[in-house]
Amino acid sequence: QVQLVESGGGLVQAGGSLRLSCAASGRTSTNYAMGWFRQTPGKEREFVAGISRSEFSSYSDSVKGRFTISRDNTKNLLYLQMNSLKPEDTAVYYCAARRGLSGMVPAERYDYWGQGTQVTVSS
């Protein structure tokens, strides 16, 4: 069992930056691939970025070049550095973990989820 808690969301102007953090507790996070997803009202949860157990990272086309996913296994932390934010990045962002190798898989293949943190980008 893994518990995930996100933090770092907030309100930022377009072009600004935010860093999201996800603290994992329970079984060691090194056994899990991790990912960030986001969701807006009325839409399905969308893959943003994933990182494998070997720290191979992957991104959706909409955030590639602007967002960076990273993990600190010594502290059981997952990060999402978000730069050059756009109003369309506004969403609730969720941290997720799965027992598989790859982080680049659909939401339904993830096993554990955080409660989400709101990111709002104003124009």
- Over residues 33-75, the pLDDT tens digits come to 999 999 999 999 999 999 998 889 999 999 999 999 999 988 9
Reported as a pLDDT band with limits 50, 70 and 90, residue 26 is: confident
Taking only Cα atoms into account, the Rg of the chain, rounded to an integer number of angstroms, comes to 13
For the chain, the first-to-last Cα distance in angstroms comes to: 40
Mean per-residue pLDDT, 108-115: 95
Average pLDDT, the chain: 94
CB atoms within 10 A of CB 104: 16
Integer CA distances (angstroms), 8 to 22, 44, 104, in order? 9, 22, 23
Task: Name the residue type at position 93.
Answer: Y
Long-range contacts, 72-78 (Cβ 8 Å, 24+): 73/28, 73/29, 73/30, 76/23, 76/24, 76/25, 76/28, 76/29, 77/21, 77/22, 77/23, 77/24, 78/21, 78/22, 78/24, 78/29, 78/34, 78/36, 78/51
- Predicted confidence at residue 47, as pLDDT, reads 97
